[in-house]
Structure 1
Amino acid sequence: MASNSTDARVTVVGSLNMDLVVRAPRLPQPGETLAGHTFAQVAGGKGGNQAVAAARLGARVAMLGCVGADPNGAQLRAGLEAEGIDCTALDTGREPSGVALIVVDDASQNTIVIVAGSNGEVTPDAIARHEAALAAAQVVICQLETPPAAVRAALAAARRLGKIVILNPAPATGPLPADWLPLIDYLIPNETEAAALTGLTVESPDDAAQAAAALRAAGARNVLITLGARGLYAALDGAAPALYDAPRVAAVDTTAAGDTFIGGFAAQLAQGAEVDAALRFAQRAAALSVTRAGAQPSIPRRAELDALG
């Protein structure tokens, strides 16, 4: 059972973006102009989303990253601090803050284009300077929206410090370097990312099983492939592979569902939960998030899940 201990700590190493979100009837074709329904500007970035999710879902969280010396950067930092997230390791860089251009269609699917901006200024030196943030955590989360050298440095430092290490390989463009896999406790891609990592087609739970087997054969210890409404395929060390069905909900916007899952899973692990319970909790949190619009605005709080039973 997870506890509500204030000693449950998660450190997120990753990106912070200002999301510019347009809702449209469908995703545009190349060269096409569509009339959208609405526009919103909200805090996002995979690192920021996962930090907010972990904080709202029961952990004390620190954020290691970089924002710009611009209004977006000030807003991103203030938003994290309002969630109680420790921003001591959040640097201010020379480049403008990262942005993400997001189109969400009436079927709740999305396309996203990211401009890294100051996220590209996260370096191995920054990881070394802020190692205290890694040392203080039980769980360290990384993604791929910051430079690979910095991600590798964070994974290596977290492994050396004996932390539970989670990598969300997003966005994935190909296989991970072989020397990364031994540094990772939980590799958590979605279908598209699993396909990029393995070169396999991943369109069904059976496909996910093949991709997970390939990743484990390459050295990954535990592989969790998120499948959206079809659930989660879990290939865990020492356990039989399993498909976790997703809770049924009426989806409004799938943006940040994966980030909510990862943040919730990390928060539960930091609180001492068994892996099975942590996975089911994270699925419930992600399912609730897709019933709401936006990235960080959609992420639920622990009390909401507790109230639902």
Structure 2
Amino acid sequence: MSRVFVLGNATVDQVHCVERLPAPGETVLASSIARCAGGKGLNQAVAAARTGARVTLAAPVGRDPDAALLAQSLAGEAELEALWLAGDAPTDLSSIWVAEGGENVIVSSAGCARSITPEQAMRLCDTLVPGDFLLLQGNLSAQATHAAAEAGRARGASCVLNTAPIAWDMHALLRLCDIVIANAGEAAILTAGAADVGKALRARGAGTGIVTLGPRGALISTEAGQATIAAPQVETVDTAGAGDVFAGTLVGLLSTGHPLGLATQTAVAAASLSVTRRNTMPSFPTRSEIASLLERGRRPMPGSAHA
């Protein structure tokens, strides 16, 4: 059975629910505050594991109580093995503001995430074998991420890049990736505002380009053509973490042998379910919910179209 290896960050998320996002210089009062596990690497590893995939997460953390909170948060994830890379920097934190209607803004620290060296990233990928999936994001340094992608390809693994956050120039990395997952804004940055962002991602080196479109679903662009996957209509409460649910669910299902179209359709449905709930990891669909969404996805979803 193939494995999903996630090399990424892990954070403690502090989520503030507010009536509306503040204007510059303005202070608003939160109606509630929650602390939970998060970070794109951890989030995507959890989402992948809940598809039934075998998952390893390698994430840098500090030597502090926040690191213990992260470890405890994964205690019930049966298919997930965590490799905590303890360093001198404190565990990274994310401050998330969520307005009524689900809109959010996020600021994350990255001192811990950026502590991973290129040499360390390459060593961590030594256990990859053909058929495995390496899932990367933008929180680590450019040098470490490139080193991991090159090591993964050398070992025959499929490299998947989720382009969030774009904190450095990712153009040279695209050619190392079998699949690139970007939201509409990120895709526009990477393709210089091309009209057909899916094809433009592939033209820049990505084997398959997937553009997430929020409530409009997702666009898949492959050498064989393009397809749009519609999202179900839901009442949005909190969109934080939805992109991670999509990426993790997609890669988890691909690693267990499901075709790209079905995996993407299920990932869209899983992300749509997560936005109906508050907070990051606590909002993620359970393993049984993913199984139900997968079964439902075997039937054509109204609104899907092919080009």
Code of the aligned partner of 2:181: I
Q: Distance in 2 between matches of 1:213 and 1:155?
A: 22
The Cα shift of 1:133 comes to: 4.3
Q: Distance in 1 between matches of 2:114 and 2:259?
A: 35
Relative to structure 1, the CA distance from residue 243 to residue 18 in structure 2 (aligned partners, 3 Å threshold; closer, same or farther) is same
Q: Higher mean Cα deviation, 134-143 or 191-200?
A: 134-143
The Cα shift of 1:80 comes to: 2.6
The Cα shift of 1:49 comes to: 0.2
Give the structure 1 partner of residue 120 of structure 2. Answer: 126
2:211 aligned counterpart, secondary structure: strand
Within the candidate set 162, 186, 204, 1:168 is matched to: 162
The Cα shift of 1:136 comes to: 8.4
Show the 5 A alignment for 1:151-166: 151-166=145-160
The Cα shift of 1:269 comes to: 0.7
The Cα shift of 1:8 comes to: 4.2
Q: Distance in 1 between matches of 2:168 and 2:145?
A: 15
Deviations 1:68-100 (A, max 9, x none): 00111111123234313212x321010000011
Show the 5 A alignment for 1:18-97: 18-84=12-78, 85-87=80-82, 89-97=83-91
Give the structure 1 partner of residue 193 of structure 2. Answer: 200
Give the structure 2 partner of residue 257 of structure 1. Answer: 242
**Alignment gaps of 5+ in structure 2:** 297-307
Give the structure 2 partner of residue 246 of structure 1. Answer: 231
Q: Higher mean Cα deviation, 257-266 or 191-200?
A: 191-200
Q: Distance in 2 between matches of 1:256 and 1:211?
A: 23
Q: RMSD between aligned alpha carbons?
A: 1.7
The Cα shift of 1:234 comes to: 1.1
Q: Distance in 2 between matches of 1:92 and 1:39?
A: 27
The Cα shift of 1:307 comes to: 3.9
Q: Distance in 1 between matches of 2:91 and 2:5?
A: 20
Q: Distance in 2 between matches of 1:231 and 1:134?
A: 31
Relative to structure 1, the CA distance from residue 49 to residue 244 in structure 2 (aligned partners, 3 Å threshold; closer, same or farther) is same
Q: Higher mean Cα deviation, 120-129 or 59-68?
A: 120-129
The Cα shift of 1:107 comes to: 1.4
Give the structure 2 partner of residue 204 of structure 1. Answer: none
1:112 aligned counterpart, secondary structure: strand
Q: TM-score, normalised by structure 2?
A: 0.90
Q: Distance in 2 between matches of 1:190 and 1:215?
A: 12
Does residue 206 of structure 2 align to residue 220 of structure 1?
A: yes
Does residue 184 of structure 2 align to residue 191 of structure 1?
A: yes
2:24 aligned counterpart, secondary structure: coil
Relative to structure 1, the CA distance from residue 162 to residue 176 in structure 2 (aligned partners, 3 Å threshold; closer, same or farther) is same
Code of the aligned partner of 2:81: D
Give the structure 2 partner of residue 3 of structure 1. Answer: none
Relative to structure 1, the CA distance from residue 196 to residue 306 in structure 2 (aligned partners, 3 Å threshold; closer, same or farther) is same
Code of the aligned partner of 1:70: D
Give the structure 1 partner of residue 282 of structure 2. Answer: 297
The Cα shift of 1:117 comes to: 2.7
Q: Distance in 1 between matches of 2:8 and 2:49?
A: 15
Give the structure 2 partner of residue 277 of structure 1. Answer: 262
The Cα shift of 1:128 comes to: 2.8
Asked whether the equivalents of residues 175 and 198 of structure 1 are also in contact (C-alpha less than 8 Å), the reply is: no
1:281 aligned counterpart, secondary structure: helix
Within the candidate set 149, 174, 180, 1:181 is matched to: 174
The Cα shift of 1:224 comes to: 0.3
**The structure with more strand, counted as a fraction of residues:** 2
**Alignment gaps of 5+ in structure 1:** 1-6, 202-206
